[in-house]
Chains A and B, each alone.
Chain A
Amino acid sequence: MSTSSRPFAWRAEAILALVLIIAPFVLPLIGGSADTLSRILIWGLFGLGFDLIFGFTGLLSFGQSVFYGSGGFIASYLLVSQSVGNVFVALVIGMAGAAVIGLVIGLLALRRSGIYFAMITVAFGEMFFFLENSALYPWTGGENGLPNVPKPRLFGFIFDSPWSLYGLLAVLFFIGYVIARRIVASPFGHVLTAIRDNPLRARAVGHDIQRYKLAVFVVAAAYAGISGGLEATLQGYMSPEAFTFETSGQLVIQTVIGGAGTLLGPLVGAALWLYLRNELQSALGLGAAWKLVLGVVFVVLIVFLRRGIIGGVSDLWTRFRPVPAAPPAPLYANPIATPTAPPTRHRQMPTDGIAIEAKGVGKRYGGIVANDGIDFAVRAGEIRGLIGPNGAGKSTFFKMLTGEVQPSAGKIFMFGEEITGLDVTAVCQKGIAKSYQINQLFQKLTVRRNLMISALSRTRGPFRLDLMANVDRMRELNADVTETLRLLDLTARADTPVSELAYGEKRRIEIGLALGTDPAILLLDEPLAGMSPSERADTVKLLRQIAVGRTLVVVEHDMDALFNMADRITVLQEGRVLAEGTPAEIQASQAVQDAYLGGIRAP
């Protein structure tokens, strides 16, 4: 990510290439055959795709057998029926077929997330297992599978010896790895990690996460599809076993054992799995108990070493490696230096007229009326304060302006254009962003990467399939992020994971995430909450800088700060607008005083 690591950018690829070349000379000494190594590579390739959806996007699929089996059977059928002569062509068609099936299943399964997604993928896996045995029997041979799958052939050379097949698979795995690495480093890959970390915020900063999930699901299906075909050609037989739940389960276990989110984890896990199976079963005479040992290892790893073998090794590495002295973490958050210039504006927006307007907006939850007939209009460039007692409906109103919640009545306009009914992603893309009352950050990502996630939605829109682009090469984006870092006075913390920051710093990133999308209208939900007096003063300075060329609406309980900063104040009470005016007018208003003092005066 930083420029200093540029000379080593291909280090991982170089090491992998070396390992793949050396393996045939070393591993046979400890009992690994060409066939075992080939199988490890196939599972590793299968796992590259799975790690993209599980390790990087956080989607735990238990149904990858569908794509592995489909890819394998499509390729095998084409070859066995002699519809296609070239093995490579058949493999690619199988991969494409698996990707198409991935698209259809993804459309259905990704309607839900978490455990629902996991359960639905399991069920699709079973469905295909039974389909293979029934409706698809004429093409798949049911329980018998498809025998006599030919070996690949290239320029007259037949890959029929075990080591030549290993060589072929090593090359294919290497290509697969390079592609997966590029996807991870791409803007697309950055958005995936944001989805894993905090899907709600990823949507709110303007990424259409459903399309990202679907796209990466299809990519994983493609990886699975070609792996299934390779297994068939390696064995010379396409087995219906490919469609079993065992296949999906084995993939999950190998990935977790090796380390999810590392790309090479599944390969390491597969090596351990196949080695244990061969060694424990025969050498130690454990017979079927090898799987018991593996199950125990799996459970122990999840309990104690969730990041798997690779994660554990890299933790050890970072612990014992001499670390260049990092700047000590301050006990208190740094004071914010007054920024030298307001942040660059990219969005062209009108500079006068009404920036945001709500007409008769209301929201009911069953019988509870949260908002009722709110009329609210803010001029472009204004700083508007929004106050009211707890439960006045401020947060609900904000959520309707950002599209997080749809109003039950009324309409919302942005620069005269109606935006009622748009979801939070679309509203963000239009140029409205919100910083949350309770921090909604990408906790495991670094500060720089957090801000980059926001900036990416501005430069790329809600979705873009730029799998091979490199974030490091996006100059304007990086310049933007660097500038925002400076504005938030977090430059020194740029490469620290957000979870390690002090509260005040996190609060600034919260604002930074909203700011990073370069909104024309910025909504701030209690930006000063939980801050010390000096932090408050600094944050107010920051907000004044941000406000240049933007419209701000601020919900805040710190009246002193708000009345100093705001041009006008709107007071909500019990879901309705109670008063609106300049800070002086509001301070003088009897109605407002009554609302805040709880009606001490007789009505």
Chain B
Amino acid sequence: MLNWGNFVSQLFNGLVSGALLALISAGLTIVYGTLGVLNLAHGALFMLGGYAGFVAYQATGNFLIAVVVGTLFVGLVGVVFERAIVRFFYDRPEEDQILVTFGAGIVLVELVRWGFGSLSQMVPAPAFGSPIINLGFVIYPQYRLIAFGIVVVALAALYLLLYRTRLGMVVRAGIEDAPMVDMLGINIQRTFMLVFGIGAMAAGFAGIINAPIIAITPNVGDDILIQCFVVVVIGGVGSFPGAVIGGIVAGEIMSITSMFNPSYSAVMLYAVMTLVLITRPQGLFGTR
């Protein structure tokens, strides 16, 4: 049962799902790092991305348009959510922030269920990604490789945005000391809104990219959210590199474990998280 082809293809699977997890977790972690809000609706935004893309694909039949529309739509939802609700919670206790985003996530999930039903929907892989390629030692669906490439590009774009632009500088300064940035005459409120929108877009984008790999249901984001928690706990909350490394590690753990026994893949993930918590409670890249 254990052969090289299988092993390599599982490694790839881990890499693909890990990169996706990394992107979603990065969205979660920059929002937390900047705004100090742990967004429990993040999984729902991921789900919403899949559905928005699904609708756009149904209307146009074009996968690229589906990706763009899905991502922008979720970004918009994120911005509206931030302006309408989240911003009133910056001064409230952490638990209130958790509760309100948790509630908002439920509302999003149930809205989608109301509109689309509970049955799973499938967005087909785009034509350029549908062939199965033969790498010699392993046969692999091409879309997954493409998805991996796209996600890596998205992560790189996010990195550049955070570390190489003026907005990114404000964001990172805001992580350190938001009131001070405000006092320097920079509109931190607008930055918060943008960051929340970007975080939501990361989730939404991942949602639509993932849709051809795993069918979408209204609850598709629930497990993803919890896996993101594991990723940021492993990587260190608020750390971008932590989210990336944590995501890949989590993806590989689940993938490799499922090669031996699929029913243990999630258990193993949480076991590793427990191990990290015991040995390094602040996470691999965390400072606190």
Using a CB–CB distance below 8 Å, which chain A residues touch chain B? 54, 58, 60, 108, 111-112, 114-116, 118-120, 122-124, 126-127, 130-131, 133-135, 245, 249, 252-253, 256, 288-289, 291-292, 294-296, 298-299, 302-303, 306
Contact = CB atoms under 8 A, between A and B. Distances in A.
Contact of A303 (B85, B118, B281): B85
Chain A contact surface mostly: helix
A291 to B, nearest CB: 5
Given A289-B110, A292-B107, A292-B114, A115 B267 contact: no
B266 A252 contact: no
B273 to A, nearest CB: 6
Nearest to A297: B103
Nearest to A246: B222
Interface stretch (B13-21, B90-98, B199-207, B208-216): B90-98
Interface stretch (B64-72, B142-150, B173-181, B226-234): B226-234
Given A127-B266, A295-B110, A116 B233 contact: yes
B264 A134 contact: yes
Contacts of A127: 266-267, 270-271, 274
A256 B99 contact: yes
Nearest to A142: B263
Contacts of B99: 60, 252, 256, 302
B161 interface: no
B226 A122 contact: yes
Interface in B249-277: 261, 263-264, 266-267, 270-271, 273-274, 277
Nearest to B93: A58
B103 A126 contact: no
The 7 A-B pairs of least Cβ separation, nearest first, read A127-B270, A292-B110, A134-B263, A295-B106, A299-B103, A119-B229, A295-B107
A115 B274 contact: no
Given A122-B229, A130-B267, A303-B100, A296 B107 contact: yes
Interface of B: 32, 38, 85, 88, 94-96, 98-100, 102-104, 106-107, 110-111, 113-114, 118, 222-223, 226, 229-230, 232-233, 237, 261, 263-264, 266-267, 270-271, 273-274, 277-278, 281
Residue of A114, A118, A126, A291 with most partner-chain B CB within 10 A: A126
Contacts of A256: 99
B270 to A, nearest CB: 4
Contact of B267 (A60, A135, A288): A135
Contacts of A124: 270
Given A108-B277, A256-B99, A123 B233 contact: yes
B285 to A, nearest CB: 14
Contacts of B267: 127, 130-131, 134-135
Contacts of B102: 249, 252
Contacts of B278: 108
